[in-house]
Amino acid sequence: MEKVAILTSGGDAPGMNAAIWAAIKLAAVNGTQVVGVEGGYDGLIDGSFRPLTKSADGGAGLRPVAGLAWTAGTGGTFLGSSRCPRFLEPKNRANAAAQLREAAIGGLIVIGGNGSLTGAHLLALEHPDLRVIGVPASIDNDIGGTLDALGVDTALNTIIDACDRISDTARSHHRAVILEVMGRRSGYLAMASAVAATADAVILPEETRTEDEIRARLEELIRRSFAPGSDKRRVLIIKAEGVAVPTTRLARQLQDQLADIPNVTVRATILGHLVRGGHPSYHDRMLAGRLALAAMTAFHDDHTDLMTGWNSPIGTPTADANVRLIELADMVSETKAMLDGSSPIVQRRIQLLNKVREVLAL
| H-state helical runs in the chain | 16-29, 40-46, 90-102, 114-126, 152-173, 188-196, 211-225, 247-257, 282-300, 328-340, 344-360
Among 12, 42, 140, 284, the active-site one is 140
C-alpha distances out from residue 149 to 11, 86, 114, 152, 288, Å: 13, 25, 11, 6, 9
| Number of Cα atoms under 13 Å in the Cβ half of residue 273 | 4
DSSP state of 141: -
Question: H-helix or E-strand containing 64?
Answer: strand 62-64
Angle at 84 between CA 81 and CA 88, to 5 degrees: 145
With left for phi above 0 and alpha for psi between -120 and 50, is residue 58 left, alpha or beta? left
Strand partners of residue 327: 306
140 among known catalytic residues: yes
C-alpha distances out from residue 52 to 14, 103, 290, Å: 20, 14, 20
Close Cβ partners of 355 (under 8 Å, ≥ 6 residues apart)? none
Active-site residue set: 140
